[in-house]
Structure 1
Amino acid sequence: MLKFLTKTSVFLALTYAAFIGSTLGAQASNLFEVKNVNVDAEASSALEARGIALKDGQSRAFQILLKRLTRVEDWPVLPIVSEQEIETFVRRFRVQDEKTSSRRYLASMSVVFEPETVLDLLRTLNIPFSETQARPMLLLPVLEDVDGYRLWDNHWWAESWAQVDLRNIPAPMVLPLGDPEDRAMLDVEDVLLSDTQSMAALAKRYNVDTVVIAHALATEKGRLDVSVYQYSAAGSRLFVRNYKGQRNPADIAGEAVEDILSAFAKEWKQTSVVEVGDQVTFTVAADYERMGEWLTMLERLEAASFIKSLDIHVLTSQGAILSLAYTGSVDQLASNLAQSDMLLREEKNGWRLKLRR
């Protein structure tokens, strides 16, 4: 439920609770889940090796999480939590692909951490953090090699992206199905010609606002050049990455994928990382045309992590006056609300909030 509600809004709060109850079946991403941590340990027995490996895996997953939530410039001061203390932060974990011998244990594990416990640690250490995600983007990996251009066919560039957890990261991405409907909407020629109309149709199918084209050029041994195009209603942009090494381009792909994802994460953190400090409260007028839109707005406000409390002063069938207590700057708050399809703007008569769609 909302953090603070006036007495006049109790009935609507109960209605709101019933409303969101019907949406809980939707699968959501979890920024506090770290997947696919490989563990390997030896000891006097396989059982002892398992215990060592799992503790080590949880500790390494915790460091991955802290870096995920914070800026690169703050990584040198991130805390090192002992294996004895790590259980304080872990909600649950699971292991897969277990292999054992008489003294050795190998597996892959995923760890889910307790959000508030982790964030309290960062607050105590006065380390700025981001606990929000950007809106998911649709990712289209295009490979150009000696055999030509490939978009929908199976190829190692697309497989490199599929092996990474694209959901539980600061700037999440979605890979397309590549089914006949996708192929009918967009082909590789459309991509090369920057056919934004076809891209927009595909984006609509996946309910995203942005399409990312990761075009890998792999015609030389030991070299991989990647051009990353980003298309949205706000326009388009491009950045290029070059990777070299004494390896085949396919062997460099994993490094390229991680680097590109880090670039998107860094950009998102510039707008979403909040300095640890006091909350700010201001008044905003919420505009809507029907009560169903108001309930949707309440749901999205509850999900906005920048908002720490909400108080309703006036409530009518087509508008409300709210007080919002938030952390960070008002620009960051507006960006945070935009991720939930809400527009926060300052007009002549004050701040106004409405649904984007």
Structure 2
Amino acid sequence: MYRLIRIPALMLALAISCFCAAPARADATFEVSGIRVDASAKSTAEARTAAIASGRPTAWGILFKRLTRQQDWPRQPALDAATLQRMVIGYFPVNERRSTTRYVAEVTYSFNPEMVARVLQSAGIPYTAVAAKKVLLVPMAPGFARGSAWTTAFLSPRFATAPVPFAVPYGDAADTPYLAGLSFDNAAWDHIAPVAGRIKATEAVFVLATLAGNKLQLSIKRVGQGEMPTKTVIEVPLLQNVQATYPGAADAVVRAIDDMWKNQKAVDYSQKGHLTADVRIASLAQFATLQNTIAGVPNVASVNVAAMDIGAARLAISYIGTPDQLKTALAQAGVTLRGGPGSWQIASQP
């Protein structure tokens, strides 16, 4: 049983606030880079101001598509210049060129996660606020071959910044026992886990390319430890031949994987929940840091101390979305949530 520790509330609040004063780290998920801006005006300063302002709508459009499902892209909220200026909390220009009347640069814009969340919530648009982890991607036609044209299509440098980062199997002697004879229909996580472990992936995606008349059919199956497989099928028009179709087909697959991930992870604001979780306290500083980290997770609406004892505390957390989505968001922030209803435990990751 927990009992409230007999420390005056004001002293406890002041002590915790001392450790919570550090600013939050910039979230790369909400940074948009490489926006080219170009504007002219009566002076260099005016041209620079106009150029930076002109890039904000473009950056917002890129961020919106990064965070939301493709089915929601037509619903992108139209924001006025004043709102965009408030939403962008910082920018960093590189490759600047100036004259007395013109300013050109490539700019990185940093958006305020809380303001982005409010805009999307008011529009009723689910979104993913956490970065996707690397997955193992296994191209099959009908089996896997490292040197095949289908596999090579996924090795293009353009996929280095894919929304869901991925790597294909090495295809060497260590992989052979697990990949040889593997078929799309029977492929499961247990079959591929050792191969995925080599790239530190906890999920894998099998992609089967099949010729179907004048189209290339792409069957996609995503698997993970302790998870039910998710599947989808897409088609792309056949070009001159199958090999010529593979690069465009790879693009379509990468987009589909991104959408599969977002459909699974996107936070639905109509779903709200509450839980209490126990936490071990090594020091007041450690506890304050953990509480501050949890409060900064976009899925978390509020976090409060429900009870405290020597070396332990109980946190009351209100969140948006599902418990699994909360787990994922916390894990991205370096916090582990374990257990289930009535018996949750929370801790900083080692």
Same fold (TM over 0.5): yes
* Equivalent of 2:338 in 329, 343, 355: 343
Q: Classify the secondary structure of the residue corresponding to 1:158.
A: coil
The question of whether the paired residues in 2 share the 8 Å contact of 1:186 and 1:198 is answered with no
Q: State the one-letter code of the partner of 2:259.
A: S
Structure 2: distance between partners of 1:343 and 1:287: 11
* Equivalent of 1:274 in 269, 273, 287: 269
Aligned to 1:321: 314
Task: Report matched runs for 1:185-334 at 5 Å.
Answer: 185-187=174-176, 190=179, 193=182, 194=187, 196=189, 199-216=192-209, 223-235=215-227, 236-246=229-239, 248-252=244-248, 253-269=250-266, 272-275=267-270, 282=274, 284-286=276-278, 291=282, 298=291, 301-316=294-309, 319-328=312-321, 333=326
Structure 1: distance between partners of 2:38 and 2:14: 56
Structure 2: distance between partners of 1:211 and 1:196: 7
The question of whether the paired residues in 1 share the 8 Å contact of 2:69 and 2:262 is answered with no
Structure 2: distance between partners of 1:14 and 1:42: 44
| 1:149 maps onto 2:145 in alignment | yes
Q: State the one-letter code of the partner of 2:340.
A: R
Of all paired residues, the percent bearing the same amino acid is: 20
Q: Paired residues, what number? A: 322
Aligned to 1:31: 29
Aligned to 1:136: 133
Structure 1: distance between partners of 2:199 and 2:144: 27
Across the aligned residues of Structure 1 and Structure 2, the Cα RMSD in angstroms comes to 5.2
Structure 2: distance between partners of 1:221 and 1:34: 41
Q: Which moved more, 1:127-136 or 1:51-60?
A: 51-60
How does the TM-score come out when normalised to structure 1? 0.63
Aligned to 1:173: 165
CA-CA distance at 1:286 after TM superposition: 0.8
The question of whether the paired residues in 2 share the 8 Å contact of 1:304 and 1:336 is answered with yes
Structure 2: distance between partners of 1:53 and 1:216: 45
Aligned to 1:127: 124
Aligned to 1:353: 345
Unpaired runs of 5+ in structure 1? Answer: 167-171
- Deviation string 1:95-140 (CA, Å, 9 cap, x unpaired) is 678999xxx99987653322233334345x4434435226514232
Q: Classify the secondary structure of the residue corresponding to 1:305.
A: coil
Unpaired runs of 5+ in structure 2? Answer: 1-7
Structure 1: distance between partners of 2:290 and 2:148: 38
* Residues 133 and 318 of structure 1, relative CA distance in 2, 3 Å threshold: same
How does the TM-score come out when normalised to structure 2? 0.64
Q: Which moved more, 1:105-114 or 1:258-267?
A: 105-114
CA-CA distance at 1:62 after TM superposition: 0.9
- Deviation string 1:55-77 (CA, Å, 9 cap, x unpaired) is 55432231232344445565444
Aligned to 2:159: 162
Structure 2: distance between partners of 1:185 and 1:345: 37
Aligned to 1:169: none
* Residues 216 and 89 of structure 1, relative CA distance in 2, 3 Å threshold: farther
CA-CA distance at 1:210 after TM superposition: 1.5
Q: State the one-letter code of the partner of 1:243.
A: V
Structure 1: distance between partners of 2:246 and 2:106: 23
Structure 1: distance between partners of 2:39 and 2:17: 55
